[in-house]
A and B are shown apart, each in its own frame.
Chain A
Amino acid sequence: MAAESQMEQLIVENVMKELAKRGLTGNVSPNQEETTKKAARPQPKSEPYRESGDDPLTIPEITGIWVPNPENIEAIKVMKQATPARIGLYRAGARPKTGAMLKFMADHAQAMDAVFLDVSEEFLQRMNLFLVDTMAQDKEEFLKRPELGRKLSPEGERIIKEKCEKNPQVQIIVVDGLSSSSIEANVPDVLPALTQGLTAAGIRVGTPFFIRNGRVGVQDHVGKVLNAEVVVSLIGERPGLVTADSMSAYIIYSPNEKTVEADRTVFSNIHRGGTPPAEAGAHLVDVLKRILKAKASGMKLNQ
């Protein structure tokens, strides 16, 4: 038995040596490995990492034209002006060029992070917003069960009853929705413009707060709990690859059991490339004045 296994080992060793000679395996005895490596591979320079003073790398822009020797470069320039689509970026074989691939990955990463990361505590402190949760326990549940994001948790309901002014004319809530980054990007400008504009017009504004893992419909629950005449939600939109920072305002007048989606007034596309946030705040003040006067929102407002 022992002799047999010794024999086996010998055969295996010989085969491995032979393979190593032909450069077919890295799994050989230390000595041989040394020889093989030296012969076959360049040695890495063993310099320690030093701060180079270079600027950090950035993701390549895809605004250029990457087609080599195009038939008509002016025509491609006109095409690229006509659409934000990812065109004129050529190819590596049939695959995208490295720059285009990295840009796509970076855009998607930004969108994923907008959805799956939470608004930071530091941001909420800075904006003086306290946090309440919905019935959704975490992001996964929030995404899989839309109805849970439309209702405050019992604890959340208790907190807002305790901390918020009752019977406001306008209750502002900040809701992460599908983009936490849109909240951090836009709320610092929209919220002060909105609050100051309303207060200046003599409108009684409630205590604003932040709702985590919330959907549009959660404003109905808040409205009922606080007996608000109007609720306005600043809520993150589903991110696209072009921007992950787009925010919407949804406004509902006197929400109740009969509220339907068409009762909401929607103002979307609030971000630097769309309606800039400060401008959006001023615009929302005007919309809210009209809603309070008409005592209606959504389709009913336009009738």
Chain B
Amino acid sequence: MNLKANISNKVFAFDNVKEVLAKANEEKSGDMLAGIGAASASERVAAKLVLSNLTLEDIYNNPVVPYDDDEVTRVIYDGLNTTVYNRIKNWTVGELREYILDSDTDDGRLKQLGRGLTSEMIAAVAKLMSNMDLVYAAKKIINQAHCNTTIGVPGTLAFRNQPNHPTDSIDGIMASAKEGLSFGSGDAVIGINPVEDNVETVARILTTVKEFMEKWKIPTQNCVLAHITTQMKAVEKGAPADLLFQSVAGSQSANDAFGVTAVMLEEAYELAKVKGTGTGPNLLYFETGQGAEISLDCHHGVDEMTMEARTYGFARKFSPFMVNNVSGFIGPETIYDGREVIRADLEDLFMGKLHGLPMGIAPCYTNHMKADQNDQEIGTMLCAMAGSNYFMGVPGGDDIMLSYQDTSYHDDASVREILGLKPLPEFEKWLEDMGIIENGRLAKRAGDPSIFDK
């Protein structure tokens, strides 16, 4: 391994692969907070140059967190397709980039390639890709999954209807849910973040949403985003859940902080199979985001983008129906501004898709970030071009329970119209029958939440 590079007559030397990965990152405040980011533009390029010449075997031999110490590393290495890996292990990361971008490398080849790459390799190649590279490559990969309906169908764009309420008021939740449905949002899932993490609240919301879905024959999924153990207890008591949700991270210690292990997720999947209301085979919903490990101080000196890739390596073991990335949610200490969050969204979408995951993105921001609606809209349009399976849908873009801004019901409908994308097939038919859409556009009744109160 050559860990030295000369940039403009200055030689930069790095100690190990972990340091090269961190310093090759585009600038993110979280890496600076952890004290591992590049100190200058030249050092960043030097790290990228070194990285481009490392072989995949170099990366395989130097996991950023040791196999024996960390469950996430074990899940990644144990799940690797060694036949594919052995065929390509002598490639450099620079060669891997060109293979991914090559015109002959199609969806099928990229899917097979992804099975033979560890998460660190996928992070590595993404560090050598510009924003347009990331969109270009991500666009080629089509990852579908099926719960009650199929997500990721080419030419479609789905949405999670996210009708949160600051006190879990059922009437308040249903008011926003109806508003969203009247804009065509909710084919990915109708998913609520509860304030109170307890079995009664979870069961109450799941039941209400499920009954509404049945009454109006809405082809979608329901989910309440409490801790997975709370949802499991609710399901054991008979609450109707199509999808079980959990936040996951890229190191065992961070997953410990979330109160989650691989065994627990396997149990949740088994429970969803035998007691859940979802058809499957994909029955789980994960959320992730760059910076989670750094903000929990569980990053092991690894940059936040590589940690995010490892999260996907962990997630793919459980064949989720949807993985949602919320990199802009944590705050300015991990992602400072609009430029950083757009970059993170594109990295995450590409990395997740190359892991074989049915990815969605929440291009979002908090009020203490240097970002605004314009940044968010740029991120949303780019991620839609890159083939994100879905986005969130929040009334007016303002999540009144989680206090952050995410894509709105209006954005959802707009992006579909701008790019000529359709709702998921069964949901599109339902929207047409309801008179909400017509010829691929919002119809007159769209935007009237009282169509469900005739």
A191 CA to B29 CA, complexed, in Å? 36
Whether B395 contacts A178 by the Cβ 8 Å rule is no
A199-211 vs B: 1/0 string, CB under 8 Å?
0000000000000
> Is A106 interfacial (CB 8 A cutoff)?
no
Query: Are A240 and B454 closer than 8 Å at their CB atoms?
Result: no
Kindly identify, within residues 231 to 245 of chain A, every residue whose CB is under 8 Å from any CB belonging to chain B: 238-242, 244
Tell me if A1 is interfacial: C-beta within 8 Å of chain B: no
**Chain B positions within 8 Å of A62 at CB level:** 396
- State the interface size on chain B (CB cutoff 8 A): 49
Contact indicator per residue, chain A 60-101, by CB within 8 Å of chain B (1) or not (0): 001000010011110110111011111111110111100010
Q: Mark A38-79, 1 if CB is under 8 A from B, else 0.
A: 000000000000000000000000100001001111011011
A11 beta carbon closer than 8 Å to chain B: no
A-contact bits for B413-434, CB 8 A (1 contact / 0 none): 1101100000000000000000
Shortest C-beta distance, A7 to chain B (Å), equals: 41
Q: Which of A94, A105, A178, A239 contacts B410 (CB 8 A)?
A: A94
Check B447–A90 contact: CB distance below 8 A: yes
Residue A146 at the chain B interface, CB threshold 8 Å: yes
A236 to chain B, nearest CB (A): 10
Asked if B447 contacts A85 (CB within 8 A), the reply is no
Cβ contact of A88, chosen from B169, B179, B416, cutoff 8 A? B179
A28: Cβ under 8 A from any B Cβ:
no
Interface mask (B323-354 → A, CB under 8 Å = 1, otherwise 0):
00000000111001000000000000000000
Identify whether the interface residues of A are mostly helix, strand, loop, or mixed.
loop
Complex alpha-carbon distance, A76 and B397, angstroms: 19
How far apart are A90's CB and chain B's nearest CB, in angstroms?
5
Minimum distance in angstroms from B312 CB to a CB of chain A: 26
Q: Is the CB of A87 within 8 A of B449?
A: yes
Distance of A114 Cα from B33 Cα, bound (Å): 23
Query: In the complex the two chains form, is B398's CB within 8 Å of A143's CB?
Result: no
Q: Indicate if the CB atoms of A105 and B175 lie closer than 8 Å.
A: no
A283 within 8 A of B: no
Q: Which of B366, B416, B442 contacts A238 (CB 8 A)?
A: B366
Give the distance to chain A from B251, nearest Cβ to Cβ, in Å: 20
Q: Is A193 an interface residue (CB 8 A)?
A: no
A115 vs B337: C-alpha distance in the bound complex, in angstroms?
14
Measured CA separation A161–B172 after assembly (Å): 52
A183 beta carbon closer than 8 Å to chain B = no
Cα separation A89 to B408 with both chains bound (whole Å): 12
* Max chain B Cβ within 10 angstroms of own Cβ: one of A89, A111, A144: A144
Report the minimum CB–CB distance from A223 to chain B (whole Å): 23
Best-buried of B165, B331, B408, B448 by chain A (most CB within 10 Å) = B448
Point out the residues of chain A lying under 8 angstroms from B368, CB to CB.
115, 143, 178, 238-239
Q: Is B373 a contact of A105 with CB atoms below 8 Å?
A: yes
Q: Judge if A108 is at the interface, Cβ distance under 8 Å.
A: yes
**A273 nearest CB across to chain B (Å):** 12
Asked if A94 contacts B367 (CB within 8 A), the reply is no
B372 contact from A83, A108, A238, Cβ within 8 A: A108
A85 touches B403 (CB 8 A): no
Select one of B175, B183, B333 contacting A79, CB under 8 A.
B175
Name the residue of chain A whose CB is nearest to the CB of B441. A94
B405 within 8 A of A: yes
Contact indicator B336/A143 (Cβ below 8 Å): yes
Q: How many angstroms from the CA of A95 to the CA of B175 in the assembled complex?
A: 20
- Chain A hits for B130, CB < 8 A: none
Q: Is the CB of B169 within 8 A of A82?
A: yes
The 3 closest A-B pairs by CB, nearest first: A86-B396, A79-B175, A83-B172
A-B CB contact pairs (8 Å), 17 listed: A62-B396, A71-B448, A71-B453, A71-B454, A72-B450, A72-B453, A73-B450, A76-B449, A82-B174, A84-B166, A85-B163, A85-B165, A94-B441, A115-B367, A115-B368, A144-B32, A240-B403
Question: A residues touching B (Cβ–Cβ < 8 Å)?
Answer: 62, 67, 70-73, 75-76, 78-80, 82-91, 93-96, 100, 104-105, 107-108, 111-112, 114-115, 140, 143-146, 178, 238-242, 244
- For the A-B complex with A82-B169, A83-B165, A239-B368 known, give 7 more contacts whose Cβ atoms are closer than 8 Å: A67-B447, A71-B445, A82-B175, A114-B367, A143-B332, A239-B367, A240-B400
